Chain A
Amino acid sequence: MVNLTIDGKQVAVEKDATIYDAAKACGIKIPILCHDKKLHPFGGCRMCLVEVEQMKGRLIPACTTPVTEGMIVQTTTDEIVKARKLVLELLLLKHPIDCPVCDAAGDCDLQNLTYEYKVNMNRFVDEKFNHEIDYENPLIERDMNRCIHCGKCARICDEIVSYGAYTFINRGIEAKMGTEFDGPLNCEFCGSCVSVCPVGALNSRPFKFKARWWALQKTKSVCSYCGTGCQLTLGSKDGKVLTTIYDENQGFHNGQLCTRGRFGYQFVNSDKRLTAPLVRRNGKLQEATWEEALAEVTTRLAAGKSDPASIAALATPRLTNEELFLFGKLFRGTIGTDNIDHSAGYAHEALTKGAVASFGVAASPAEIADVQKSNLLLVVKSDAYETHPVIGFEINLGVKRKGIALRIVSDKKGKLTRLPGAKTTVHAPGNEVALFNALCKSVIDQGLAVEGVAGLDALKAAVADATAEKAGVSAEEIAAIAKEFASAEKALIILPIGQGYPGHNAVLANAAANLAILTGQVGKEGAGLLIMGEKNNSQGAVDMGIYPKGTGLNAAAIIDGCANGNVKTLFVAGENPVVSYPNRKKVEKALENVEFMVVSDLFLTETAAMADVVLPAVSFAEKSGTFTSLGRRVQNVRKAIPAIGLAKSDFEILNTLSQALGGARYNNQGEVFTEIAASVPAYKGLTQAGLKDEGAVYPVALSAKLVPAAAKAAAPAAGKLALVTGSALYHCGTMSRFGEGPMYVCPDAYAELNVADAAALKVEEGDQVTVTSGTGAVQVVAKVGKRVPQGVVFSPYHFGEGSVNTITDGAEVTYVSVAKK
């Protein structure tokens, strides 16, 4: 610790702190423009000038000057104020005084400082900039005339996002923040640059002119897309969510969001939202009252109570814990059926079966904070960036700032594979388990296995014939990764799961867990296995037990049951099996066949359109409750706006049904949480109020055990391409299709081909292609690049038109032929 005096106050800080940090620590505010706590110090604006007794004679920038023992600092003297005023005058010389029409007004550092320092005249005169303004971009409007050259956008895009879209171009007075060849911005659209821009040079286009910053009601909540569980602040006005507001103090991610969280909120107030219940009459869905709709559902469910096996229910892991708990209680308890499931059944098995077998808990042993505490990250699939972009930022930061080693085993390349020092092992599609088995074998052969772990002999026998060749990679690579992983002080495996990744199942979770357990990389901070659930509450759905526990049917069996008539009543809360479950034709047939189907959803999805009763549900912005993110953090979701139209939350719907069927009734969702805390062991002692803004990570008690994982032999078909599915960066599940932001950037289903394959097929970027498998054929747009290796096609699963589940059937890899339309 270093001791110093700031404005007469004694303060002790870490030795790597700057004067700015020290002042902040003792509550003294030094004005800044170019500094950001997340970024490396830059020292470009000179707004933070202070006086240091020991360095008299000149003013010192507080944001770049490290503290030294005994420093005596003055932060406001007449001379300093004069200097800061000069800085502002010089900035205002070029800055257009656009405040009345600038969306940053009210939240603009330059405006606030100008006001604070009473800069109401300027000693200098000059012409303003006359840069062309980029109005074309659908998400980010760039007006470089307002830029004050703080460099934050370029730094955040480089340091944290690792995209590098911006750099200063030209020199002297002509210098400007430019893009590649000064062309249009075409990046990840995470909006990080917009959020840190201290002025209105970078603005959110969807929010343009929508409201003034000070008129927005700010509600702290949690993103409802992926399992990362980023905290965000919703800005709403007149019952509409208009934007997400940046708050650098929110969450582990310091307010950083990905494109979905930042620009994907429009689904909340979409015109396509369902506003009234629909009931099928004479074959057509027609508007009905809640009483009519619920009466129909109640009658049906009450009648089915005598034969509970004929009732099945699917829930989306986007619901809150409270809703999911009530869902489980209603169907499992009141109605008495175990036929309940979520996420197509397979997308949660890595947790519900894999982690349970390997660690004795249905959760990841690691948490998000472990990413940055690790020494080596082993990422399964480069897609981990696309599925959980903000975890991707954590990886970027860890690799670049802390020198964490990054190893990726993947069937394609991607953003992570380009990070400095990253080593990527590209294997043949579907060989993940074989690869982990080969790694385990190599660990054992190299004598790096820890002795005495449970199940060692069984594993030794099981991996006896595992070889690198079987995984389609070189023996040296396997040996090298095994050695590095085992000898790293702390090594963490990152495994994304989800409906796009049928191969990331229980077996792969076991295989990955084996490596961690075998090398002793469990039960300590910065090590272990981080299983990343796909949706905002994937972990919560597992914790609330939304999967068959006994003899009940899982999601796939429920679909089969609908097809063969064993399941007569299907209750679907928010899932969209028609698009997101494998084999669309089969699902459609099954849902057509089922006698009675109820769907509660925000939109008339492909599935809802087939239902007998459609109940309009509300989005995360219209309800309160909790979500549990990957890494087991339970967080508060808060209501920002009233429900749209007549829509009701799933809590209200389930609560009414539960009461009507003779089950429990709650006065509010908070009571359900109290019951969760009392009956779900992991949530013991938690209260919604106690979660506060930061949430709480619930603890797990691990009992690690090696579980042999059988690798399936991949059977490549001659002359066919291997289709692997997954997530696109801009989308998550099928809900992001209703947000304008994601749809501006990534509107259509596509198939990504390698350049060589594309050349052989005479397909060019943007061509319509037909992809045919044994299951069906689908038309999508071709994307050509070098990211996927030869022989592999990648296609994201989110889209209704050209949905990839038309041609998949739940296998890890689907062999397809591609032809130009």
Chain B
Amino acid sequence: MIMPLIKGLQITISHMFKKPVTLQYPTERPDVKPGFRGLHALNVSHDKAKCVACYLCPTVCPAKCITVEAGEDANHDKYAAKYEIDMLRCIFCGYCVEACPVDAIRMTEQFELANYSRADFTYTKDRLLEKK
């Protein structure tokens, strides 16, 4: 009866003197590998978002979490008057990036997305653009 208990404790105590195998987050930072699919960012070119509001990403998104509304700018060109991702529903599959015909969206290395309210998980165009 007592023997298994002692055996178990032995293992536990022996580990206290070994090197940890897990990453000591948050004191230790992970080494994010290329191709990691973190928070989205909208690419910018000539001071404008590259997105032309083609609606391919909302069409392909399996989680249906992207909302795009197109607008017409002064030059009669199409742009995303609204571009929003509901990060609570996103499954970080990266299809949006793959679908984009103009390389307007990418996924960054940022993975710390915890927040306090639901509303904070709605990433509007402004928030997605901020990270150049």
**Which residues of A are at the interface with B, using a C-beta cutoff of 8 A?**
99-101, 105, 133, 135, 208-212, 214-215
Q: How far is the CA of A208 from the CA of B76 in the complex (A)?
A: 10
A interface footprint on B37-57 (CB within 8 Å = 1, 0 otherwise) = 000000000000000111110
A100 contact from B52, B71, B72, B76, Cβ within 8 A: B52
Query: Are B72 and A208 within 8 A (Cβ)?
Result: yes
Query: Are A100 and B56 within 8 A (Cβ)?
Result: yes
6 residue pairs from A and B, CB less than 8 Å apart: A100-B52, A101-B54, A133-B76, A209-B70, A209-B71, A209-B78
Nearest-CB distance from B101 to chain A (Å)?
5
Nearest-CB distance from B95 to chain A (Å)?
16
Given contacts A101-B53, A209-B72, 7 further A-B contacts (CB under 8 A): A99-B54, A100-B54, A100-B102, A101-B52, A105-B54, A135-B76, A208-B72
Residue numbers in A under 8 Å from B55 (CB-CB): 211-212, 215
Q: How far is the CA of A99 from the CA of B71 in the complex (A)?
A: 16
Nearest-CB distance from B50 to chain A (Å)?
11
Interface size range on B against A: 10 to 19
Closest 6 CB pairs of A and B: A100-B54, A209-B70, A101-B78, A212-B55, A100-B101, A135-B76
Query: Are B59 and A215 within 8 A (Cβ)?
Result: yes
A interface footprint on B53-74 (CB within 8 Å = 1, 0 otherwise) = 1111001000000000011100
CB-CB nearest in chain B for A97? B101
Q: How far is the CA of A209 from the CA of B72 in the complex (A)?
A: 7
A interface footprint on B1-27 (CB within 8 Å = 1, 0 otherwise) = 000000000000000000000000000
Residue numbers in B under 8 Å from A135 (CB-CB): 76
Residue numbers in A under 8 Å from B72 (CB-CB): 208-209
Asked if B28 is at the interface of the complex by the 8 Å CB criterion, the answer is no
Nearest-CB distance from B55 to chain A (Å)?
5
Query: Are A214 and B59 within 8 A (Cβ)?
Result: yes
B101 contact from A99, A133, A208, A209, Cβ within 8 A: A99
Q: How far is the CA of A362 from the CA of B115 in the complex (A)?
A: 71
**Which residues of B are at the interface with A, using a C-beta cutoff of 8 A?**
52-56, 59, 70-72, 76-78, 101-102
CB-CB nearest in chain A for B53? A209
Q: How far is the CA of A212 from the CA of B54 in the complex (A)?
A: 8
Residue numbers in B under 8 Å from A101 (CB-CB): 52-54, 77-78
Residue numbers in A under 8 Å from B54 (CB-CB): 99-101, 105, 212
Residue numbers in B under 8 Å from A215 (CB-CB): 55, 59
Question: Interface on chain A toward B: helix, strand, loop, or mixed SS?
Answer: loop
Q: How far is the CA of A208 from the CA of B102 in the complex (A)?
A: 20
Nearest-CB distance from B111 to chain A (Å)?
29
Among A99, A100, A105, residue most surrounded by chain B Cβ atoms (within 10 Å): A100
Residue numbers in A under 8 Å from B52 (CB-CB): 100-101
Q: How far is the CA of A210 from the CA of B70 in the complex (A)?
A: 7
Residue numbers in B under 8 Å from A208 (CB-CB): 72
Residue numbers in B under 8 Å from A209 (CB-CB): 53, 70-72, 78
Nearest-CB distance from A509 to chain B (Å)?
50
Nearest-CB distance from A139 to chain B (Å)?
15
Q: How far is the CA of A105 from the CA of B54 in the complex (A)?
A: 9
Q: How far is the CA of A100 from the CA of B54 in the complex (A)?
A: 5
Q: How far is the CA of A208 from the CA of B71 in the complex (A)?
A: 9
Residue numbers in A under 8 Å from B76 (CB-CB): 133, 135
Q: How far is the CA of A211 from the CA of B101 in the complex (A)?
A: 17
CB-CB nearest in chain A for B102? A100
CB-CB nearest in chain A for B71? A209
Residue numbers in B under 8 Å from A214 (CB-CB): 59
Residue numbers in B under 8 Å from A212 (CB-CB): 54-55, 59
Q: How far is the CA of A210 from the CA of B55 in the complex (A)?
A: 11
Nearest-CB distance from A375 to chain B (Å)?
50
Nearest-CB distance from A106 to chain B (Å)?
9
Q: How far is the CA of A145 from the CA of B53 in the complex (A)?
A: 21
CB-CB nearest in chain A for B81? A209
Residue numbers in A under 8 Å from B101 (CB-CB): 99-100
Residue numbers in A under 8 Å from B102 (CB-CB): 100
Q: How far is the CA of A133 from the CA of B78 in the complex (A)?
A: 14
Q: How far is the CA of A101 from the CA of B59 in the complex (A)?
A: 15
Q: How far is the CA of A166 from the CA of B58 in the complex (A)?
A: 38
Nearest-CB distance from B49 to chain A (Å)?
13
CB-CB nearest in chain A for B75? A135
Q: How far is the CA of A99 from the CA of B52 in the complex (A)?
A: 10
Q: How far is the CA of A209 from the CA of B55 in the complex (A)?
A: 10
Residue numbers in A under 8 Å from B56 (CB-CB): 100
Nearest-CB distance from A370 to chain B (Å)?
46
Q: How far is the CA of A772 from the CA of B60 in the complex (A)?
A: 63
Q: How far is the CA of A135 from the CA of B55 in the complex (A)?
A: 22
Q: How far is the CA of A17 from the CA of B112 in the complex (A)?
A: 67
Nearest-CB distance from A423 to chain B (Å)?
47
Nearest-CB distance from A743 to chain B (Å)?
20
Q: How far is the CA of A209 from the CA of B78 in the complex (A)?
A: 7
Q: How far is the CA of A434 from the CA of B68 in the complex (A)?
A: 63
Q: How far is the CA of A209 from the CA of B51 in the complex (A)?
A: 14
Nearest-CB distance from A707 to chain B (Å)?
59
Nearest-CB distance from B73 to chain A (Å)?
10
Among A101, A209, A210, residue most surrounded by chain B Cβ atoms (within 10 Å): A209
Nearest-CB distance from A191 to chain B (Å)?
20
Residue numbers in A under 8 Å from B78 (CB-CB): 100-101, 209
Q: How far is the CA of A133 from the CA of B71 in the complex (A)?
A: 18
CB-CB nearest in chain A for B104? A100
Q: How far is the CA of A208 from the CA of B53 in the complex (A)?
A: 12
CB-CB nearest in chain B for A135? B76
Nearest-CB distance from B84 to chain A (Å)?
14
Residue numbers in B under 8 Å from A133 (CB-CB): 76
Q: How far is the CA of A759 from the CA of B28 in the complex (A)?
A: 91
Residue numbers in B under 8 Å from A99 (CB-CB): 54, 101
Q: How far is the CA of A133 from the CA of B102 in the complex (A)?
A: 22
Residue numbers in B under 8 Å from A105 (CB-CB): 54
Q: How far is the CA of A349 from the CA of B76 in the complex (A)?
A: 51
Q: How far is the CA of A133 from the CA of B77 in the complex (A)?
A: 12
Nearest-CB distance from A739 to chain B (Å)?
20
Nearest-CB distance from B60 to chain A (Å)?
11
Q: How far is the CA of A100 from the CA of B57 in the complex (A)?
A: 11
Nearest-CB distance from A714 to chain B (Å)?
54
Residue numbers in B under 8 Å from A210 (CB-CB): 70
Nearest-CB distance from B15 to chain A (Å)?
56
Residue numbers in A under 8 Å from B77 (CB-CB): 101
Residue numbers in A under 8 Å from B71 (CB-CB): 209
CB-CB nearest in chain A for B51? A100
Nearest-CB distance from A131 to chain B (Å)?
14
CB-CB nearest in chain B for A141? B76
Q: How far is the CA of A153 from the CA of B71 in the complex (A)?
A: 27
Q: How far is the CA of A105 from the CA of B59 in the complex (A)?
A: 13
CB-CB nearest in chain A for B76? A135
Residue numbers in B under 8 Å from A211 (CB-CB): 55
Q: How far is the CA of A391 from the CA of B55 in the complex (A)?
A: 39
Q: How far is the CA of A208 from the CA of B72 in the complex (A)?
A: 8
Nearest-CB distance from A685 to chain B (Å)?
45
CB-CB nearest in chain A for B58? A215
Nearest-CB distance from A205 to chain B (Å)?
10
Nearest-CB distance from A616 to chain B (Å)?
27
Nearest-CB distance from A142 to chain B (Å)?
12
Q: How far is the CA of A135 from the CA of B72 in the complex (A)?
A: 11
Nearest-CB distance from A120 to chain B (Å)?
14
CB-CB nearest in chain A for B77? A101
Q: How far is the CA of A91 from the CA of B59 in the complex (A)?
A: 28
Nearest-CB distance from A512 to chain B (Å)?
50
Q: How far is the CA of A210 from the CA of B68 in the complex (A)?
A: 11
Q: How far is the CA of A677 from the CA of B30 in the complex (A)?
A: 74
Nearest-CB distance from B57 to chain A (Å)?
11
Q: How far is the CA of A133 from the CA of B72 in the complex (A)?
A: 15
CB-CB nearest in chain B for A100? B54
Nearest-CB distance from B6 to chain A (Å)?
66
Among A99, A101, A211, residue most surrounded by chain B Cβ atoms (within 10 Å): A101
Nearest-CB distance from A216 to chain B (Å)?
11
Nearest-CB distance from B69 to chain A (Å)?
9
Among B59, B70, B71, B77, residue most surrounded by chain A Cβ atoms (within 10 Å): B70
Q: How far is the CA of A168 from the CA of B70 in the complex (A)?
A: 33
